[in-house]
Structures are given as structure tokens and as C-alpha cells.
Structure 1
Amino acid sequence: MTGKELYYIAEAKFGNMLAGDGPFTKRCHEWLEQTSGCNKSLLTHSCTAALEMAALLLDIQPGDEIIMPSYTFVSTANAFVLRGGVPVFVDIREDTLNLDESLIEAAITPRTRAIVPVHYAGVACEMDTIMRIAKQHGLKVVEDAAQGVMAAYKGRPIGSIGDLAAYSFHETKNVISGEGGALLVNDPALALRAEVIREKGTDRSRFFRGEVDKYTWQEVGSSFLPGELIAAFLWAQLEESERITKDRLAIWHYYHAILEPLETEGLLRRPIVPDDCQHNAHMYYVLLPEERDRQKVLGELKSNGISSVFHYVPLHSSPAGRRYARMSGELPVTTSQSERLIRLPLWVGLTFEQQNRVAAVLADALEGWAA
């Protein structure tokens, strides 16, 4: 917590505005629009909800195909499967673990409707290439920017490049509200419909702006708004987002420095961030050699009081992934990298001394195995 969360929650309560779209929601919308440059931002009760709104906005129909990585959270795929869409999984890059843009065109068919790049660990996908491919083939781009708040690609904020984008403010993210998310609308043609879909399919937002004399049911929608207490908590975090990001980057870079010797010895691989990407230190992960038993390393960290975990189980290997999606070719990098990755503790307040201890325990585990 940054210090003002409970104060703002109390302010919202005493203002007698607890439902969505109150004063704190408006502040958050203005901040997101000014920071990202998007046409319209809309807070949602989760990033999952924002992705589901994107699928509705794109009018995804049964059988429509959506290109995305398998190495992602289930919401990326589920949002489109709910509309009858078919996720088409493409392999990831070895360096960033992002969608491999060189494999996208081979996955395109007459049924392809959209590309969903996932900015893994707050490191941007190769968006210029992805946007060029989308334009050539008449496809929409939905950025899954769940991990991308305060990160950028070639100076442009992540989430401001595709037609639509989804942010997450889940408690595991950099800037949080417990649960929460936002849809960023960059295509002006989709802005009014986004409001309608978010408000149960009604033009309620236009009514409150005085643009219509009553609001009515306009099209399919749902209740995607967060309550005002969530927005109040989030506003306290957004106010401190630059400091939060600065503190996390300091922790990230310290890990990167103290783990360099282990990479030199061939005991792990550190994250790779392309020069064009300005990341937000969402996570610090390492990749173990293929022959190393990851569970033993995690066990040794745990036995020393260090909470370290792996990340996604690739969706193509899941029961639902096999049922609802298809692969575009084999996914060897996805399979390999997902089995080797370990995430290290990273949170604002983590000290350099604690990081040194994490690195020492990790080194003992890896060097003991190498010996």
C-alpha cells in the first residue's frame, strides 16, 4: 500500500457513491487516457472482463480464429472461447518469451479475425511488425497488457498500440486494486460501443452526459464495472505509479547484476530485454538448463524460506486447450521455456540484503548440482 488507499476509500464512502463510475473512477479514467494516449479507457472488475469486452466489441462469432501465444494466462484464450472463437496458438520467442512475430503469417487463415500479443513480464512484443501484419490482412489487434502498466515499446506506452488493450490491477501486478482491470480503446470507432457493452448493453453513460433523454437496452452487454471502493484504492496506487515503477526497477536491476556470474557459469539464463522495450520490472525470472530438475531447485529455495514459483502451464497442453483451440505448428520453445522458468521474489520493499540471500541460496542449489 502506498499510504492513501484507506483514506480514499473512506472519502468514497462518505461521498455516498459506492457503485461504479463515481469520482474516483473518473480520475482513474483520466489518468489512463493521459498516460497512455488512448481514445477511451474504461475500468473493469478484472483484466479478464476487459478481454471479454474486447471479444464482444470485435463481434467474435463461432469458428472465428484468434492468434495468440499458448504461454499465457487462461483468460487470454477464454475470453474468445466464450464467444465461440478458436484460439490458434503460435510459438514464442526464445529471448523475450513473447509471441514470435515471424510465425504469425503462417497461422493466418480465411477465418482469422484478430491477433492477441501478450506482453510477457512487462516487456513489449514486436508491435511494429505485428501491426503491419494485421493491417495487411485486415485483422484487429488486442494487446493483452495485463503485466504492462508503465511499460513502453519504442517510447509508446504498452496498451496504446493495438486497436484494443487490457490492463490488470490484480494484487499480483505492479499497480493494484486487489481485483480490477481496464479496457483501453485506441480505435475511436469502437469507443461508444465499448461504453454500451460495459453498462449491461445500455446507453447509460450517454444519458448521464445529457446526450439522450433516457437510457435503454441497445445491444448485448454485461456488468463490467468495478465498485467505487476499488477505484478509490486504485487511484492511490496510480498516484504513486512512477515511484512504484522506479523502486521495482531498482530491485530488478540489482538481481540482474548479482546473477550475472551464474549466467556466465552457464547455470542459468537471465531475462533478455530488447533495446526498443522499456519494461516495468513486473517480474524477475531465470531459466534453468534443460537438464536441471526445477522442482528440486524450487524445493531448496522453499526449504530456506524463499517463495519462488514457476509460471504458466502452456494452454496447448491443457484439457481445455486441446478441446477448444488448435496449434499452428509445433511449439517447442513454449514447451522448453515453460519447463525451465523460475520467478524470484520481487515486491516493493524487498531489500538488497534479501536479494543477496535469494541469490546465495540459488547459487548453492545450482552449483551443488553442477559439481
Structure 2
Amino acid sequence: MRQVKMYRPQVPADALPRLKTILDRGWFGLGPETAAFEQELSALPEVGGHVVGVNSGTAALHLALYVSGVAPGTSVIVPANTFISTAAVVVQHGCHVVLADIDVSTGNIDTGHVRELLRNRNDISAVIPVHYSGIPCELAELNVIAAEYRLTIIEDCAHAIGAVHQGLPLRKYSNIRAYSFHATKVVPIGEGGCVTFPTEEMADRARRLRRLGIDSSQADWSSPYEIEELGFKYNMNDMAAVLGRSQLASLPQRIARRRDIIARYTRSVSSSDIWPVMPRRETDRTGAFAFSVRVEEHVRERVRRQLAEAGVQTEIYFKSLDSFRIGLNGAVPKARKFSKEVISLPVHDAMSDDDVDYVAEHLIGATAS
């Protein structure tokens, strides 16, 4: 039976000799490979900005909150449809999570609900919009709202490397952005991430804070050092950086292939009782992390079971944050409904067109049965 895995991380063959070089060098902690990875990410049209490499997308979000000056004790708006990291870092920073509902057609934060929350509260200091599955959220409108209410925007770009909003790459919107390079992501390095800042001054501070407040340019741990601001243990290491660097040359082609897979899925299911989760306009382009669809709630688990029986792995992106027993509450009925209907399907470099057609055929069949 054919097996279509949800994830199949692909690393170029030349990554192996590059990794051996690092091992032979005798040092594979934070070092020159991380600095080179940061510079190359900064030069990419898909990323840009002043880049700081860290050890996870979660660390990237937390460091972004810290460096941006979001005050502990204030409230931060987070979409209810996201991975738990987006809310966890807000709590860890000493802030209160305010859940926003979503637009079910995209899975992204509902800007109308954001405005409603802001009209009814005066303690909100920031918004963390998530580009769900790589689909760009309404960033231009959020920037207008942020200017009106003097909010900080930190974009959760865990899914969104390469995403385009209204014809512009995300870097053109000049916000702080947090990316993930987890093993499931478009640039998989096992564990890792980065933050992009609008100024080098902010990035320099973040580079110190990611290494407990120690100046990263001071590579020799045996030398005396001073700490002026206590930080975190969030630094990337050179082994992870080498894996990342090996993938950047092929990144545009791999994103294009993933977009082709999503387009093929969309054409296949467009006439059935399946609702693809898609960008709102032609000038928005997904970062193509995943392809999610909605089906009727009462058939969702049966559909997933039949896909599994056919060898197709699926995920649920995501369980609504208010449904966890951890005290994240809010009036988010659309996110709740979405979380009971959504199925996320495989999208990765190793998939053939036949694999895509196989998944689509079994999805349609399971929905109709």
C-alpha cells in the first residue's frame, strides 16, 4: 500500500560533508556558521531584515517580545487558531493572552474582532498574528490598526517563509518576525528558528540576550566577560546552521514546488463538499507549509480514519486555544468550529503528482462515503 507521510524532511547531499567539516573543526556550538546563516537569511527576498538565529521558533517569539519592549502585565492579542507556542510565550513574558477569533476561509486572525477587542480594552500592547499554514494574514490592515492604537506587531511566521501579502514579501511590512526551522517546516534543521528585526540595534541586543547576556562576538568561554543584561539560553548552534545553509540555494524552487502541490490539491477538490483554506486574493501567495481543508464536523474523524487506512497521514492544525484546560478563555466561536472541521494534508518536497492525486482521490471518496 502506498504511504504518504505528513512530513519528509529533505536535506541536500552536500550537507553531509559540510557537517563533517564542522565535526572535524572541533567546535559546533554558536559560531561562524550561525553568523553566516544569519547573513544569508538577511539577504534572501523571502526573509530579509536583521536576522538573529535561535534554537526554536518558540524562542524566536519570546525573544521578539522581550526585545520589542512589550511590557509585562499588559495584554497581547493572539489568534485562537495557532500552535500553543504563540500563547505560551506571552504568558512566560508575564503578559495576559487575549484570544481573537478567525476568518474560517483563511484560518487567520479576524481583524474585525481585533478592532472590537481594542475598543473594549485599554491594556493591550501588542498583537501576534499568525500566517496560518503559510497563508498571509491581513497584514496591511493590521499595520493600520497598530498605528492607530500604538501597538507592537510581532508576526508568527513559523509557517510563512516565502509568503507574499498584496504582492509584497512579508519583510516589506517592517514588523518583527519570528520563523521556525523545526523538522516539520519548509527549512527543516531539527530544532531552530530566527527573529528578524527592523534595526541592527535591536538585533545586537537580541544576540546578547540569546546567550544569557554574553556578547556573542566573545567566542572564547575561558576569557573574562561581563553581563549587563541577563538573557536566555536560546542560541543556535553551528550544526543546525550548516543544515539550514545547505537548503537556502534551493529554497525558491522548493517553495514553488510546494505551491504547485497546493494548486493541484485545490483543483482536485474544488467541486466536492470540501472547503479549501486559501489566501483571500490573487496577490497573496502562501508560504506553502501545509494544505488544510474543512469538512463537515460530523464526518471529519471518519475521513481522517479512512485516509489513514489508505496510508495517508493527516494532522489537525489546530485545536482552538480556548479548548485547552490551561485558562485561555475567549469568545471565539469561529475558531472553535474551524478546529472541529479542519484536516491538514501532506505537502512536502518528496511528494510526486501521483501522490497528490492519490491523497485527493481518497479525500473525496472518504468525504462522499
Offset at 1:177? 0.4
Partner of 1:25: 34
**What one-letter code is carried by the residue in structure 2 that aligns with 1:299?**
R
Deviation at 1:107, TM superposition (A): 1.5
For 1:153, the equivalent position in structure 2 comes to: 165
Question: What's the CA shift for 1:357?
Answer: 1.8
CA distance in 2, matches of 1:153, 1:308: 27
| TM-score for both structures, normalised by structure 1 | 0.89
Report the more deviating stretch, 123-132 or 5-14: 5-14
Matched, 1:343 2:344: yes
Q: Map of 1:1-371 to 2, 5 A cutoff?
A: 1-22=11-32, 24-36=33-45, 38-108=48-118, 109-158=121-170, 161-205=173-217, 215-262=225-272, 267-273=273-279, 274-290=281-297, 292-320=298-326, 322=327, 325-327=328-330, 330-368=331-369
Q: Give the Cα–Cα distance (whole angstroms) in 1 for the partners of residues 204 and 354 of structure 2.
A: 51
Find the aligned partners of 1:201 and 1:107 in 2 and give their Cα distance.
Answer: 36
CA distance in 2, matches of 1:114, 1:187: 19
Q: Would the aligned equivalents of 2:65 and 2:93 in 1 still touch at CA under 8 Å?
A: yes
Distance in 2 (CA, whole Å) between partners of 1:73 and 1:261 is 30
**Secondary structure of 2:173's aligned partner:** coil
Q: Distance in 1 between matches of 2:195 and 2:140?
A: 21
**1:272 positional shift:** 2.1
Distance of 1:35 and 1:180 partners within structure 2: 18
Q: Which amino acid aligns with 1:193?
A: R
Please tell me whether the aligned partners of residues 120 and 147 of structure 1 are also in contact (alpha carbons under 8 angstroms).
yes
Deviation at 1:285, TM superposition (A): 1.4
The question of whether the paired residues in 1 share the 8 Å contact of 2:71 and 2:125 is answered with no
Q: Secondary structure in 1 aligned to 2:278?
A: coil
Q: What's the TM-score, normalizing by structure 2?
A: 0.90
Contact 2:135–2:278 under 8 Å retained in 1: no
| 1:21 CA displacement | 2.8
What is the percent sequence identity of the aligned residues?
Answer: 25
Offset of residue 59 of structure 1: 4.0
CA–CA distance in 2 between the matches of 1:310 and 1:33?
32
Separation in 2, partners of 1:163, 1:150: 15
Amino acid at match of 2:287: N
Decide which moves more: 65-74 or 250-259.
250-259
Unaligned runs of 5+ in 2: 1-10
The one-letter code sitting in structure 1 at the alignment partner of 2:149 is H
Preserved contact between residue 160 and residue 186 of structure 1 (Cα < 8 Å):
no
* Deviation of the 1:57 alpha carbon: 1.4
Alpha-carbon distance between aligned partners in 2 of 1:225 and 1:156, rounded to the nearest angstrom = 30
**Structure 1 position 71, deviation (Å):** 0.7
CA RMSD of aligned residues (A): 1.9
Q: Post-superposition shift, 1:38?
A: 4.2
Offset at 1:110?
2.5
Conserved in 2, the CA contact under 8 Å of 1:38 and 1:185? no
After TM superposition, give the deviation of residue 160 of structure 1 in Å: 5.2
Distance, in Å, in 2 between the alignment partners of 1:111 and 1:159 is 28
Asked whether the 8 Å contact 1:21–1:225 carries over to 2, the reply is no
Unpaired stretches in structure 1, ≥5 consecutive residues: none
Compute the displacement of 1:49 (Å): 0.6
Q: Secondary structure at the match of 1:261?
A: coil
SS in 2 for 1:3: coil
| Structure 1 position 261, deviation (Å) | 2.4
- CA apart distance, 1:120: 0.4
Moved over 3 A (4+): 36-39, 58-62
C-alpha contact 1:153 1:277 (8 A) present in aligned 2: yes
1:223 aligned partner, one-letter code? K
| Alpha-carbon separation, structure 1, partners of 2:208 and 2:351 | 42
Q: Distance in 2 between matches of 1:66 and 1:216?
A: 33
Structure 1: which amino acid aligns with 2:341? R
Closer, same or farther in 2 for the Cα pair 1:162/1:68, shift >3 Å?
Answer: farther
**CA positional deviation for 1:214:** 7.0
- Structure of higher RCO (CA pairs closer than 8 Å, 6+ residues apart): 2
Per-residue CA deviation, residues 307-338 of structure 1 (Å, 9 max, x unaligned), is 12222111112111x2xx442xx211101111
CA distance in 1, matches of 2:247, 2:109: 30
